[in-house]
Amino acid sequence: MNIIEINEIIDPIAASDGAGVKLKRSIGVQPNYYDPFLMLDEFGSNNKDDYVAGFPPHPHRGIETVTYMLEGEFEHEDSTGAKGRMKSGDVQWMKTGSGIIHSEMPAMSKGRLHGFQLWINMPAKLKMSKPNYIYIGSDQISIHKDEDKKVKVIAGKFEKAEGPIKGHNVEPVYFDVELKNNKQFNFKLPSSHNSFIYLINGELEIGDKKHKQVKDSTLILLSKGKELRVKAKSNSKFLIISGKPINEKIARGGPFVMNTKAEILQAVQDYHNGTFVK
């Protein structure tokens, strides 16, 4: 049996984005790209000044953005005509394709806001496809629950719980796991995938080999393998995210991710001359 071990433990860095929203960024810094994942941000604060300015209208091309709300509310609006309010437990999965302009603004002026945004690369053949917005309400997300754990399945399958995202080119796994102290979580991941755990709170032991302490707001890059073994050393909450690598060269330019620098320059030109949204 090929046991999955820890490859690297990374502490996120403090950053800000949008109109000054404070967040913790891990993927997108070190590593800069963990194929097919381009960025992972955790945003969370009880202080409205850290989030109230939100993310005013901005463009994207060539990527997918996956926003998962744990607490709080966001209002979304974009150039496809999609509009809605994200609430606690909801997911917004947006395929930007050839180009989308959207805004994400807090629908609250006090209280706690907490969530994640993940960027997933798109292969060259899909980068200029028609944008697609998928809204997944918390009541659409399957949950596995037993005496040891609770697993919310956004993508992939755990036991009988299956996520609403299907037929995706990177065959993603996206779980939100709550694991009780001294209990174990075991799962078979595709050996072809790049996988990571993001520990939200608590403390974990992963694999069979000894490793340094892994506690709270930590990105854990995993080795390729088949059998993931996680043990909680305290009541813990974490994300498990995995995807099949695209294995293509990329060029990055802020909110645009394409395959060549020329395509990035074209995206910038399209945006400035008003032909960005098809």
Q: Where are the domains of the chain?
A: 10-273
The residue that leads in pLDDT, 157 or 17, is 157
CATH class of 10-273: mainly beta
Please give the Cα distance from 16 to 151 (Å, whole number): 30
C-alpha closest to that of 66 among 102, 84, 92: 92
In the predicted structure, residue 126 carries a pLDDT above the cut 90: yes
Average pLDDT over residues 226-241: 97
Confidence of residue 33 (pLDDT cuts 50, 70, 90): very high
Confidence of residue 80 (pLDDT cuts 50, 70, 90): confident
pLDDT digits (tens, 9 = 90+) for 205-215: 999 988 888 88
What pLDDT does residue 1 have?
A: 62
pLDDT digits (tens, 9 = 90+) for 14-32: 888 876 788 999 999 888 9
Share of the chain above pLDDT 90, in %: 78
What pLDDT does residue 193 have?
A: 98
Average pLDDT over residues 63-82: 92
What pLDDT does residue 96 have?
A: 96
In the predicted structure, residue 10 carries a pLDDT above the cut 70: yes
